[in-house]
Amino acid sequence: MTALRAGVARVAFDAPLGGAMMGYGARQGTAQARHDPLFARALYLAAESEALLVELDVCLLAPAHAEALRARIAKRTGVAARHVLVGCIHTHSGPETGLFTALLGGEDGPAAWLDAGLRAAEEAVAGAAPARFGVGRAEARIGRNRRIAAGPIDPEVLVARVDRADRSPLAVLYIHGCHPTVLGSENLAYSADWPGAASRAVEAALPGATALFALGAHADVDPRTRDLLDLAAAGQSVGAGFAAMEALGREVGEAVAAAAAAIETAERAPVASDACWLALPVQGAESGEPARLAALEASRARAAAALGLEADRDPGVVEWFALIDERTAGLPRLEARPRIAAARAYLRDRTAPRFAGGVAPEVCAQVIRLGPAWLLALPAEATVDVGLEWKRRLAGAPGAVVSIANGWLRYLPHPCNFAEPDAGEKYEILMSTFAPDAALRLLDAGDALRARLSA
């Protein structure tokens, strides 16, 4: 087995004060301050093959932006794009990244976070040197299931430690599934939310190490500072403030640092990565385009009836959202919730092809092997059940799903989430893009990639 080489880099970027922020539709105002710095971080590992992970302190990236960055990184570093993962930590207190402009086919000007991601990748690859590697696990319970009271969570944090040849810590990669939403819509200061605080705690405990956070299967897991998510409840995006954010981050960071300190590293570890693309039908497209269009028209009629609109009325998306607020204001929750859900279901299905890039787009699944650990990187927000199923398929080997990897295509529930009695009134279902079996098809693709890389 080839001896391991590794490099790591962290590059700060400035998001403009006065600029739009991303993460909450209820946010009023633009960025007024910087609470903590925002970074692009990169970790490069090479043995027989190679893998390059780039994580940006932003909320979301359009697939087109992620693919363009992967191509730029490949050109500048020589690392093939299929070996590069571009991820977002998903802070809801980061800058607007031009997602919707990209979805509409427009182009934004240069983005500081993308340039920082390229620089971090270049520095990590250029600085690669003999290294040691090991994997461990920590536990964190900062999250709660926001769909179901006492519903499933995954408290595990996958921890990978990379040492220099002299055994001093070089990098710590940690993966956990919990929304970075301790800070709420009222916050107008840029922040990496709890992952930023966690990384600071790791780096304080292990001097000389650079900490990298990758977002796990988190779609239905919020910080425990939040309540159950309810379509009909007002003010649910209000946050808990900076002190709570720092405290939850330290809680994770201290657990990660303790686990990392206990990991025994070795100078040889298998490294591999590969990707595949599979066609996934969007909601309603499983039986072909005529059936999708018929189902969409039926959904529009239900939405119009739910809001008391004329039977043939079909306004623009922005007006639909305004009408949802207007026509359900003041109604009891039990009456408002199904009305909101009917309208949101129509908007989900109407906009799915735009988000996905077609009615059956090619979607990327990527698998990265880091020593004994297997990462399944997906361009969507996976629910905790998706992450738990990937771990079951690993049969005891360490691993994790990495969400919002190489772009964002909205939510990815597990089929069991679609089968729940009140699934049609849950945000995660109403924010999904693909047919209910999409998660299983992506997990199967991950299995095939893992088998290929193992061989």
Q: Do 272 and 297 share a domain, yes or no?
A: no
**Distance (Å, whole) CA 34 – CA 37:** 7
* 170 shares a domain with 53: yes
CA distances from 199 to 113, 119, 289 (A): 18, 20, 47
88 within 8 A of 58, measured Cβ to Cβ? yes
Give residue for tokens 């239905």.
220
| Residue 283 located in a structural domain | no
Say how far apart CA 180 and CA 196 lie, in whole Å.
Answer: 9
29: three-class secondary structure by DSSP: coil
Query: Does 53 lie in the same domain as 32?
Result: yes
Domain that holds residue 118: 5-276+363-454
Whether residue 282 lies inside any domain: the answer is no
Which of residues 356, 379, 414 is at a domain's end? 356
Burial of 385 (0-12, 13-18, 19+ CB in 10 A): buried
Dump pLDDT digits (tens) for 148-179: 999 999 999 999 999 999 999 999 999 999 99
Listed residue (380, 311, 307, 298) closest to 346, CA to CA? 298
Per the domain annotation, does 38 fall within a domain? Answer: yes
- Does the pLDDT at position 32 exceed 90? yes
The domain total for the chain is: 2
Q: Within a domain: residue 342? A: yes
* pLDDT digits 0-9 by tens, 76-134: 999 999 999 999 999 999 999 998 888 777 666 669 999 999 999 999 999 999 999 99
The whole-number average pLDDT for the span 24-41 is 97
C-alpha to C-alpha distance for 31 and 15, rounded to whole angstroms: 9
Mean pLDDT of 194-216: 98
* Residue 17 domain-assigned (yes or no): yes
Mean pLDDT within 285-309: 96
The residue assigned the tokens 């040889």 is 268
Nearest to 152 by CA among 218, 248, 229: 218
List CB contacts of 454: < 8 A, sequence separation 6 or more: 369
- Tally Cβ neighbours within 10 Å of residue 62: 22
Residue 164, helix vs strand vs coil = strand
Which range (104-108, 135-139, 211-215) has the least confidence?
Answer: 104-108
Q: Are residues 37 and 116 in the same domain?
A: yes
Does residue 97 sit in the same domain as residue 224? yes
Residue 320 sits in the same domain as residue 381:
no
The predicted structure's pLDDT at residue 333:
95
Are residues 209 and 104 part of one domain? Answer: yes
Mean pLDDT of 204-228: 98
pTM above 0.85, yes or no: yes
Structure token pair of residue 274:
């590969």
| Residue where a domain terminates, one of 356, 378, 410 | 356
C-alpha span between 328 and 362 (Å, rounded): 37
Tell me the mean pLDDT in the region 306-327: 95
Nearest alpha carbon to residue 370 among 234, 250, 263:
263
Q: Are both 367 and 418 inside the same structural domain? A: yes
Which residues are within 8 A (CB) of 342 and not within 5 positions of it... i.e. 6 or more apart? 299, 302, 303, 305, 306, 307
Segment (H or E) for 170: strand 169-176
Q: What was the pLDDT predicted at 132?
A: 98
Contact of 364 with 277, CB cutoff 8 Å:
yes
Q: Are residues 319 and 336 in the same domain?
A: yes
Q: How much is the pLDDT for 108?
A: 67
Please tell me the predicted confidence (pLDDT) of residue 390: 98
Closest CA to 368 of 52, 48, 9, 2: 52
In this structure, the answer to whether residues 252 and 352 fall within a common structural domain is: no
Q: Say whether both 386 and 403 belong to one domain.
A: yes
**Spatial CB neighbours of 230, under 8 Å, sequence gap ≥ 6:** 236, 333, 337
Asked if residue 445 and residue 315 are part of one domain, the reply reads no
- What is the rounded average pLDDT of the residues 186-194? 98
Q: What is the pLDDT of residue 110?
A: 65
Which of 298, 321, 356 terminates a domain? The answer is 356
pLDDT tens digits along 44-62: 999 999 999 999 999 999 9
DSSP 166: T
Mapped onto helix, strand or coil, the DSSP state of residue 260 is helix
Q: What number is the average pLDDT over the span 314-318?
A: 94
CA distances from 189 to 34, 57, 174, 185 (A): 5, 14, 25, 10
